[in-house]
């Protein structure tokens, strides 16, 4: 017996969903790291927008800010610079770039924490409870 689902006025076959999902995953697997990062950010935006009608616009804006993340190219370059630093192979220019990248990443983190704190205030829940509800873990510290 085939399973079916109703989506709006359309009947969707379970086998079609599985086939389409497998095809999508094959395409995603072929993406570059940068394109994959953009795809994930886009998918998170779609999910946030789907949930948006049930949320006040202020909460939606805060959730979008919280889910923004660090751009893939910045994160990858920063990681590469950290590895070179750990190997003792950084040039002066790369060290300056590492410091600048660190400041950019910290600024993104500060905006995220501010948005989390504001959302916790709106929802009248402790910050750590909100983070738990959203599946957000405290970041680790790297020396």
| Domain assignment of residue 38, yes or no | no
Spans of the chain below 70 pLDDT: 1-18, 52-55, 139-143
| Domain assignment of residue 129, yes or no | yes
- Kindly list the distances between the CA atom of residue 118 and the CA atoms of 83, 97, 134, in Å, as whole numbers in the listed order: 35, 32, 14
Question: In this structure, are residues 106 and 97 in contact, taking their beta carbons and an 8 Å threshold?
Answer: no
| Domain assignment of residue 75, yes or no | yes
| Domain assignment of residue 16, yes or no | no
Range of the domain at 120: 56-134
| Domain assignment of residue 9, yes or no | no
| Domain assignment of residue 7, yes or no | no
Write down the pLDDT at residue 38. 86
Per-residue HEC secondary structure of 95-134 comes to HHHHHHHHHHHHHHHHHHHHHHHHHHHHHCCCHHHHHHHH
| Domain assignment of residue 115, yes or no | yes
| Domain assignment of residue 91, yes or no | yes
Write down the pLDDT at residue 111. 94
Please report the beta strands in the chain, taking only residues with DSSP state E, as ranges in sequence order.
4-7, 10-13
Q: Which residues, including other chains, have CB under 8 Å from residue 6's CB and lie 6 or more apart?
A: 12
What is the domain count for the chain?
A: 1
């Amino acid at each position: 017996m085939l399973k079916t689902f109703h989506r709006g006025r359309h009947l969707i076959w379970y086998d079609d969903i599985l086939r389409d999902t497998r095809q999508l995953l094959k395409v995603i697997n072929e993406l570059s790291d940068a394109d994959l990062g953009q795809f994930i950010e886009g998918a998170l935006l779609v999910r946030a927008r789907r949930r948006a009608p049930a949320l006040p616009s202020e909460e939606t804006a805060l959730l979008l800010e919280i889910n923004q993340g660090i751009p893939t190219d910045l994160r990858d370059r920063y990681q590469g610079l950290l590895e070179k630093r750990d190997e003792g192979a950084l040039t002066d220019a790369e060290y300056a770039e590492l410091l600048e990248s660190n400041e950019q990443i910290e600024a993104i983190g500060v905006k995220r924490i501010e948005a989390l704190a504001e959302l916790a205030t709106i929802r009248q829940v402790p910050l750590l409870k909100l983070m738990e509800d959203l599946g957000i873990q405290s970041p680790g510290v790297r020396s």
